[in-house]
Amino acid sequence: MFIDFFTNFFFNVFLTVQEFSVLSFKSLTNLFKKPRYIKETFEQVDIIGVGSLTIIVLTGFFTGGVLALQSSHTLKSFGAVGLTGQLVSLSLVRELGPVLTALMLSGRIGSGIASELGSMVVTDQINAMKALGVDPSKKLVTPRVIATITVTPLLTAVCDFFGLVGGWLVALFQLKLRTSLFWSVAFHSLSYNDLVGGIVKPFFFGYIVATVGCFYGLSTWGGTKGVGKSTTRAVVVASIFVIAADFFLNKLLIELIYY
């Protein structure tokens, strides 16, 4: 009985990984095949990018403010409060900006993609598309994947900027630091390698969020209840994948460019 359980478990895991890999691969290779659905891609850019601006701005702003508040106590003990801008800028650009942006997108975009595609599955819209000779992965998956990959680095830059603004306001009114000191230290502490690392990671994170959302959306079964389950799984799995990918990407970037 236990042998059968583990056999079925590992078989299902292997099958899921295989299906996810095929869908992820097709989402990119579809770019080289006609039709390319450019209009749908720009629509998704607007939905994902512009629609996520508010939550990204608020996330970055308050994260930067919290970083400045928390770091000030530690820096005061070393007489280095003037380095608050350096700590905020390096923390945001290298790590927190890309990761927090991806996690916010997994909650908003990943869940939205999964619920939208899942609803299309349970209402047989996907089967209708196939009957008409339309490839669902090309029309539905690829535009969402390309749009998410495109806007995630841009949203990360927005998150970083407003994080610095939040840190600056805290440093100005709470820590009584001069504006020129904060921004000078913040910008001069950043190197080219920091900017490269902070921009490279969002491309991978965007790809993860979009492909996971599309996979669980298209794998929906069990009616409207199944849509809810798929949405939850998409958010959880995408978040875990983002954090795991962040570890390995950091390891790679440290070996290649940071040192």
Number of compact structural domains in the chain: 1
Q: pLDDT for 180-216, tens place per residue?
A: 888 998 888 888 888 888 889 999 999 999 999 999 9
**Which range of residues forms the domain containing residue 230?**
38-258
Q: Give domain status of residue 240, yes or no.
A: yes
CA dihedral 102→105→111→117, nearest 10 degrees, is -100
Q: Classify residue 175 by its DSSP letter.
A: S
Reference 194, options 81, 92, 56; nearest CA is 92
Residue-level pLDDT at 235: 93
Q: pLDDT for 8-31, tens place per residue?
A: 767 777 788 888 888 888 888 888
pLDDT-derived band at 220 (thresholds 50, 70, 90) equals: confident
Q: Give domain status of residue 99, yes or no.
A: yes
Q: Give domain status of residue 244, yes or no.
A: yes
Mean pLDDT to the nearest integer, 86-90: 88
Q: Classify residue 189 by its DSSP letter.
A: T
Selected residue with higher pLDDT from 44 and 9:
44
Of 11-20, 72-81, 224-233, 249-258, which gets the smallest average pLDDT? Answer: 72-81
Nearby residues of 101 by Cβ (< 8 Å), 6 or more positions away: 56, 59, 60, 152, 155, 156, 159, 202, 205
Residue-level pLDDT at 13: 75
Q: Give domain status of residue 16, yes or no.
A: no
Of 74-88, 109-123, 129-143, 158-172, which gets the smallest average pLDDT? Answer: 74-88
Q: Give domain status of residue 6, yes or no.
A: no
Q: Give domain status of residue 159, yes or no.
A: yes
Q: Give domain status of residue 7, yes or no.
A: no
Determine what percent of the chain is predicted with pLDDT higher than 90. Answer: 41
Q: Give domain status of residue 5, yes or no.
A: no
Residue-level pLDDT at 3: 64
Bond from prior residue into 35 cis (ω within 30 degrees of 0): yes
